[in-house]
Amino acid sequence: MSYDIIIIGGGPAGVTSAIYALRANKKVLLLEKEIIGGKVASSPLIENYPGIMNINGVELSDDLNKQLISLGVEILRKTVIDLQYEGTVKKVITKDEIYEAKAIIIATGTKYKKLGIEKENEFIGKGISFCAICDGFFYKNKTVAVIGGGNTAVANALELANVCEKIYLVQNLEYLTAEYILTEQLYKNKKVEILYNHSIIKLLGDEKLSGIELTSNNKTKILKIDGIFLAIGQIPETEFINKEKVKVDEMGYIIIDENCKTNIEGVFAGGDCVSKEIRQLTTAVSDGTIAALNAIKYLRK
């Protein structure tokens, strides 16, 4: 199966690339292993996108999907496991199929970072969650902790305050790193207690999470809680990339130039999976536009 452009990833960058490529009458395949919208779907509230006063992530993801369908894009739920870059025709390899294209756009985004402590994987889905809008209703009238102090952590805490009885926000710094408008909302919410300079050292429970052990200033304490929501950062979804061929930074983020070109001819990248300082919805859309337009230009050669 051969295409003009294959886009890997269906988040804002990938969707934007698909829109531009389809409008240029290119044959496009979009591969997404989960849902269109990517991590946008887990955002409780989006208020920083021009032209939209506010919208939740599920609604925006649904709109992105509808727009792609209206343009006639081919979308397949596939996990990419390898790429072959040699020659003018590139190959995208999934578990059960190989797809060919003249150009590839990588827009795989990031995945949630984990704590890296004992029992963590065991408790995912049994007391450990990442998305408040997805799993918050499981903790109605219960006590939970949100781990982190950035935008995602604060947004999750505010979302959980709509259903939970009590929320602890556990931050390992002495301040929050979230935007001012979010922190001001958080400070006013009486359901939320912020624990500064605290870190998790142990997960408690047998078959499911029942509490956490924290440390602060060489002192420990135990919180009895029903669940935790991790929001401690993200890492790039670039495991399938041969890092000896495609240049990445020390964290595994793809290195691109101002035209969203990688060091491989015909391979472009954009969105949160690329090496840059700022990762926002708006910058992902910008990358998607630039990557698509330059991929289209590449096809004219």
Which pLDDT does position 48 carry in this prediction? 85
pLDDT in tens, 9-33: 999 999 999 999 999 999 999 999 9
Instruction: Please give the domain boundaries of the chain with CATH numbers for all domains.
Output: 2-111+236-299 (3.50.50.60), 120-230 (3.50.50.60)
State how far the Cα of 221 lies from the Cα of 93, in Å rounded to an integer.
48
Retrieve residue 95's tokens.
Answer: 């578990």
| Residue 287 scores a pLDDT above 80 | yes
Pairing type for strands 2-8 and 28-31 reads parallel
pLDDT in tens, 29-54: 999 999 999 888 877 778 888 999 98
Q: In whole angstroms, how far apart are CA 99 and each of 72, 91, 93?
A: 18, 6, 6
Pairing type for strands 227-230 and 98-106 reads unpaired
State how far the Cα of 93 lies from the Cα of 109, in Å rounded to an integer.
18
pLDDT in tens, 80-118: 999 998 889 999 999 999 999 999 999 999 998 999 999
Which pLDDT does position 87 carry in this prediction? 85
Nearest Cα to Cα of residue 146 among 122, 109, 182: 182
Q: What's this model's pTM, rounded to 2 decimal places? A: 0.83
| Residue 127 scores a pLDDT above 90 | yes
Mean pLDDT of the chain: 95
| Residue 57 scores a pLDDT above 90 | no
State how far the Cα of 54 lies from the Cα of 98, in Å rounded to an integer.
40
Share of the chain above pLDDT 70, in %: 100
The 10 Å Cβ neighbour count of residue 223 is 20
Which pLDDT does position 46 carry in this prediction? 87
Q: In whole angstroms, how far apart are CA 248 and each of 94, 106, 136, 155, 273?
A: 22, 13, 36, 30, 10
- Four-point Cα dihedral 57, 253, 18, 54, nearest 10: 20
Which pLDDT does position 33 carry in this prediction? 94
State how far the Cα of 163 lies from the Cα of 294, in Å rounded to an integer.
46
pLDDT in tens, 253-286: 999 999 999 999 999 999 999 999 889 999 999 9
Which pLDDT does position 78 carry in this prediction? 95
Retrieve residue 12's tokens.
Answer: 């804002």
What are the DSSP calls for 38-96, one per residue? GGGGG-S-B--BTTBS-B-HHHHHHHHHHHHHHHT-EEE---EEEEE--SSSEEEEESS
The residue with tokens 């946008």 is: 40
pLDDT in tens, 133-146: 888 999 999 999 99
